[in-house]
Amino acid sequence: MTKPRARDLDLPFPGEPGPWNAITDVPGVAVGFTTLTDPARRMRTGVTAILPRQERDWPRPVRAGQFTLNGNGEMTGTHWIEDAGYLAGPILITNTHGVGAAHQGATRWMIERYADYFGAEHAWAMPVVAETYDGVLNDINALHVTPDHAIAALDAAASGPVAEGSVGGGNGMIAYEFKGGTGTASRRARIGGAAYTVGALVQANHGIRPWLTILGKPVGRTMTEGRLLPREQGSIIVILATDAPLSALSLRHLARRAAIGIGRNGTPGGNSSGDIFLAFATADIGPMPQLDAPLLTRTELNGEVIDPLYLAAVEAVEEAVVNALVAGEDAPTVKPEGLVVRAIDCEALRRVFAG
C-alpha cells in the first residue's frame, strides 16, 4: 500500500507545487535509487542518484552553488564548485562509509557514459557524493555499498514521481527520532512574467524529537513515545534544482536558503550535524568551459528580483523533510540492538491539523 504524502494528510503547506511535487518537476532532472535491505546481514542502506542533465556521450555543465550550515559531514567536489561555479556530472547521496565506493562507481559511470569525451580529451570526473550516517539502523562498518550499487542507481535515474522514505541513501536514516530518509517537494514561482520551478530533495537524518515543528505546531513535544537520542547526532543533505537561469553566486545564495527551510521544522543545526546544501540550475550554459570560445555570453536573472525563488526553496525544503517523515516505516536498530525506530503516526499528525 502506498503511504500518503504530507499534503494527503491535509497539512496546509503554502505555495504552488509542480505536478509531481518533486525535484523532477525541474525539466531534465532525473532521480534513481539503489535500496539495500537484508536483516540477516544487518543491512539497511543504499544510494540515491540525481542527474542534473541527461545527455549522453558528452557532458554539459550546470551552474551550481554550495553552502554548509554545519560541517560535520561530507560532500565531495565542492571546492571546484566554489571556484568554478559549475558542476558536470551526477550527484549521489549515500551513507558515511559509502562515499568512496559511490565516488568510484560514479566516476566509472561517467567514463562509460561520456566515452567520446573521455576518449578525446584529457578529461577528469569530479562527481558530487554526499553522506549522512546510518549506523543505528545499518551495519555501516560492513561497507555494504559498492561501486556497482552507485552505477545501478545512476542507471535507474528517471523523471516523474520520486519514491520517498526508506529508499536509496535514505534507507537507514532517522529524523527527529522518527524513521526518516528521502523526501522531495517543489514550488513554482513567477519573475518578470516567466514561470520557474524550484525542486528540493533531502536525505533527512537530523534533529531530536522536542525540536520537531511542522507548520508552526510543536508536534514533537506531544509525540513523545519511542524516543532514542539524548542529543542531536545526525545530518541532512539538501539538493536544490531550478530551471531559472541563475548565476553561480545566486545559486550559492539559493543554497543558503535551505538552512531556513530545515529550520522551519525546528532544527537549530546541531553541532554534531552535517547540514550541507547544494543548488544547481539546469538552464543551458553551453559546453564545458575549457572547450569554449574565449568570450562567453550568458543570460542570468538579476539577483535583485529572485526573492520568489528564495521563498520557493524554503517552502520546498520544509515540505520535503515532512514528506520524508510521513513516508517512514518502522525499522529495527542494529546498534544498539533490540530497539525499533518508529515511523511518525500519520493519523495523529492529521488530527493535529484537523481542528
Q: How many other β-carbons are positioned within 10 Å of the β-carbon of residue 218?
A: 14
Cell numbers at residue 152, please? 545501478
As given in the structure block, the three cell numbers for residue 172 are 537507514
Residue of 235, 243, 247, 250 marked active site: 235
* Total length of the chain: 355
Q: Is 275 a catalytic residue?
A: yes
Closest CA to 113 of 168, 162, 62, 157: 157
Is 235 a residue of the active site?
Answer: yes
- Beta carbons within 8 Å of 11's beta carbon, 6+ residues apart: 214, 215, 322, 349, 350, 353
Contact in structure between 168 and 69 (CB atoms under 8 Å): no
The contacts of residue 122 (CB under 8 Å, 6+ apart) are none
Contact between 90 and 293 under an 8 Å Cβ cutoff? The reply is: no
- The answer to whether residue 186 is catalytic is no
Cα–Cα dist 70/65, whole Å: 16
> How many Cβ atoms from other residues are within 10 Å of residue 215's Cβ?
17
Q: Give the three-class secondary structure for 185.
A: strand
Contact, 253 vs 281, CB < 8 A? no
Per the listing, cell 539497511 goes with 44
The answer to whether the Cα torsion of 94, 48, 253, 317 is positive or negative is: negative
The residues annotated with a catalytic role in the active site are 235, 273, 275
